[in-house]
């Protein structure tokens, strides 16, 4: 992999991609890794945004090696560096939950900071007080919630954070993270530093200036953009707009999910809590390894449940197993270009939502673990020949 400081001209330039609904042209200003190592471009079945940057190092739509994910976590944490505490990390569901948690734990290892809290947005009803509610305008499921943290110490950090770190897989217009920062600023007007962390930042210089100019919090100039690639894109629609996918149900029924009150991040994780969950997943991997043969291993996470399944995969990889990781998603993509396989099934959260798995090998030669935090995915388990595991 390239060095985190590599901003060579070899990583710069413009490229165009012909998609189902038009042409996407990207201009890369700099990159720590080549574009093709970080992501691909695919068609999203969404008339509001008919394209998507499919990350190859996120463990979501693209199977990847845990070590590649670990590198991205550590590289972004190193770029983030020390911050005035207390520090609040907020990650966007569902795609960036694993990224946010991975950067958070890598940042804790790097800085030794203990006055820190990780939380993430969610689309599920926990029956708990809601701290923030935001809208993601281009999303297939627009509403995001951030719940009040659990415990007095976590609540204090949430109220009094001096640094706010927002994590998403990409930044395009910046509107979603702006909405999240705006919502948080109404709860805490005293934070001094804002860091916007992502894998690929497509916000133009003009867009960054506008982002800061609209910010009601002060000092505005304290906002930093932290990424592994920076550039711009332009989408030129061709032909009539792509119709929405009429058979895809992406918005839940808001039924109470009492099982999810077990805190894996939705109610805030202090450093010790995050480490305890990670260590539990490591112990599960060590137990499973004793019964595994010499072949490869695939771990599949589910929906908003990403980090502990990733730790399972990373631990097995460190023990010498050839391991890949990916996760299910509710994002509907077109079966074309880099999307070589697409499987549709109902979600394991009991809401009757369409979930998808992309680019999976149905003839995978090794053991597959399907990691779930609740419910089951019998169709997917049978298709993959997987063994369910709860962490």
Q: What's the mean pLDDT in 49-76?
A: 96
The rounded percent of the chain whose pLDDT value lies above 90 is 79
Token pair listed for 382: 């049978």
Give which of 337, 336, 329, 334 is closest to 355, Cα–Cα.
329
Interval 92-107: pLDDT, tens: 999 999 999 999 999 9
Rounded to whole angstroms, how far apart are CA atoms 295 and 198? 34
Band of pLDDT at residue 15, cut at 50, 70 and 90? very high
Half-sphere exposure (CA, 13 Å, Cβ side) for 315? 19
What does the alpha-carbon distance between residue 270 and residue 274 come to, in Å, rounded to a whole number?
A: 6
**Euclidean distance between CA atoms 378 and 384, whole angstroms:** 10
What mean pLDDT value characterizes the chain? 91
User: How far does CA 287 lie from the centroid of its chain?
Assistant: 27
Tens of pLDDT, residues 158-215:
999 999 999 999 999 999 999 999 999 999 988 999 999 999 999 999 999 898 888 8
Contacts 24+ apart (CB under 8 A), 340-347: 343/380, 343/383, 345/377, 345/379, 345/380, 346/379, 347/303, 347/375, 347/377
Q: Sorting pLDDT into bands at 50, 70 and 90, what band is 245? A: low
Are the beta carbons of 229 and 37 closer than 8 angstroms? no
Residue 182: Cβ-neighbour burial (10 angstroms; 0-12, 13-18, 19+): middle
* pLDDT of residue 8 exceeding 80: no
Which of the residue ranges 32-41, 242-251, 305-314, 365-374 would you say has the lowest mean pLDDT? 242-251
Measured in whole angstroms, how far is the alpha carbon of residue 199 from the centre of its chain? 10
Rg for the chain (alpha carbons), in Å? 20
Tell me the three-class secondary structure of the chain, residue by residue: CCCCCCCCHHHCEEEEEECCCEEEEEEEEEECCCHHHHEEEEEECCCCCCEEEEECCCCCCCCECHHHHHHHHHHHHHHHCCCCCCEEEEECCCCCHHHHHHHHHHHHHHHCCCCEEEEECECCECCCCEEEEEECCCCCCCEEEEECCCCHHHHHHHHHCCEEEEECCEECCCHHHHHHHHHHHCCCCCCCEEEEECCEECCCHHHHHHHHHHCCCCCHHHEEEECCEEEEEEEEECCCCCCCCCCCCCCCCCCECHHHHCCCCCCCECHHHHHHHHHHHHHHHHHHHCCCCCCCEEEEEECCECHHHHHHHHHHHHCCCCEEEEECECCCECCCCCCCCEEEEECCCCCCCEEEEECCCCCCCCEEEEEECCCCCHHHHHHHCEEEEEC
Is beta strand 143-147 parallel, antiparallel or unpaired with respect to 130-135?
A: antiparallel
Mean pLDDT across 226-246: 80
Task: Tell me the per-residue pLDDT of 114-151, one tens digit each, with 9 for 90 and over.
Answer: 999 999 999 999 999 999 999 755 444 458 899 999 99
- Residue 345 sits at φ, ψ, to 5 deg, of -160, 165
């Amino acid at each position: 992999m390239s060095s985190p400081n590599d901003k060579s001209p070899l990583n710069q330039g413009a490229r165009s991609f012909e998609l189902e609904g038009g042409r996407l042209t990207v201009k890369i200003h700099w990159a720590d890794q080549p574009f093709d190592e970080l992501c691909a471009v695919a068609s999203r079945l969404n008339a509001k945004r008919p394209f998507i940057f499919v990350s190859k190092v996120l463990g979501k739509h693209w199977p990847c090696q845990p070590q590649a994910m670990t590198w991205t976590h550590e590289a972004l944490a190193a770029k983030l560096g020390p911050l005035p505490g207390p520090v609040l990390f907020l990650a966007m569901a569902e795609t960036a939950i694993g990224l946010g948690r991975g950067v958070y734990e890598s940042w804790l290892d790097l800085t030794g900071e203990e006055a820190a809290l990780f939380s993430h947005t969610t689309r599920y009803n926990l029956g708990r007080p809601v701290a923030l509610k935001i809208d993601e305008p281009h999303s297939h499921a627009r509403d995001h919630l951030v719940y009040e943290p659990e415990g007095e110490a976590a609540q204090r950090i949430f109220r009094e954070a001096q640094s706010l770190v927002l994590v998403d897989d990409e930044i395009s217009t910046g509107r979603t993270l702006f909405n999240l920062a705006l919502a948080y600023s109404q709860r805490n007007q005293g934070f001094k530093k804002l860091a916007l962390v992502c894998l690929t930042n497509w916000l133009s210089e003009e867009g960054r200036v506008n982002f800061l100019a609209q910010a009601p919090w002060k000092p505005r100039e304290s906002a930093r953009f932290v990424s592994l690639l920076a550039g711009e894109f332009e989408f030129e629609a061709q032909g009539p707009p792509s119709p929405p996918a009429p058979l895809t149900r992406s918005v839940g029924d808001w039924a109470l999910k009492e099982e999810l009150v077990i805190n894996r991040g939705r109610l805030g994780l202090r450093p010790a809590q995050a480490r305890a969950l990670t260590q539990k997943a490591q112990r599960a991997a060590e137990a499973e390894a004793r019964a595994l043969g010499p072949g490869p291993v695939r771990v599949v996470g589910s929906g908003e449940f990403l980090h502990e399944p990733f730790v399972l995969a990373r631990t097995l990889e460190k023990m010498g197993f050839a391991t890949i990781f990916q996760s299910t998603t509710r994002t509907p993509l077109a079966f074309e270009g880099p999307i070589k396989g697409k499987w549709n099934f109902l979600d394991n959260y009991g809401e009757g939502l369409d979930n998808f798995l992309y680019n999976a090998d149905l003839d995978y030669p090794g053991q597959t673990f399907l990691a779930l935090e609740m419910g089951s995915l019998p169709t997917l388990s049978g298709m993959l020949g997987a063994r369910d595991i709860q962490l």
